[in-house]
Amino acid sequence: MVAEKVKKEENINLEKIITDYGPSRYEDVVLAMYWASHLKNTEEYRLKPVAEIIESALKDVVSKKVSVEDVKKAVEKDFQIKEQKEAGKKSSKKEKTKTEEK
């Protein structure tokens, strides 16, 4: 049963679904791009080609596997992680500059 469901999800024809999609297709495509950006940061998708990540993200959004709230939470979390990394880089640059001045 599970294998049958996975096989069905893999056979989703994205072109047909997107062209026949309702009026929210543009918003959902943007949502899928945000989701793809999040997926790129995960360990599972880190080394996969961008086209494969985008296709997977579109499938997730179109099949309602992820909700708008899920995407918002993921993007916020990614943004916080990025800010923490940048803050760490800035503080290390300041320390390096202070060390060089001495």
- Annotate 39-89 with DSSP letters as a single string: HHTSTTTTTS-HHHHHHHHHHHHHTTSS-HHHHHHHHHHHHHHHHHHHHHH
The pLDDT assigned to 23 comes to 73
Vertex 24 angle, CA 72 and 59, to 5°: 65
pLDDT at 4 over 60: no
Distance, in Å, from the CA atom of 35 to the CA atom of 88, rounded to the nearest integer, reads: 26
Q: What is the tens place of the pLDDT at every residue in 49-97?
A: 999 999 999 989 888 899 999 999 999 999 998 888 888 877 766 666 6
The pLDDT assigned to 73 comes to 94
Coil/strand/helix, residue 21: coil
Supply 46's token pair. Answer: 């880190």
The pLDDT assigned to 95 comes to 66
Q: What is the tens place of the pLDDT at every residue in 14-45?
A: 677 766 777 777 888 899 999 999 999 899 99
Residue keyed to tokens 């996969």: 48
Domains of the chain, by residue range, sit at 2-101
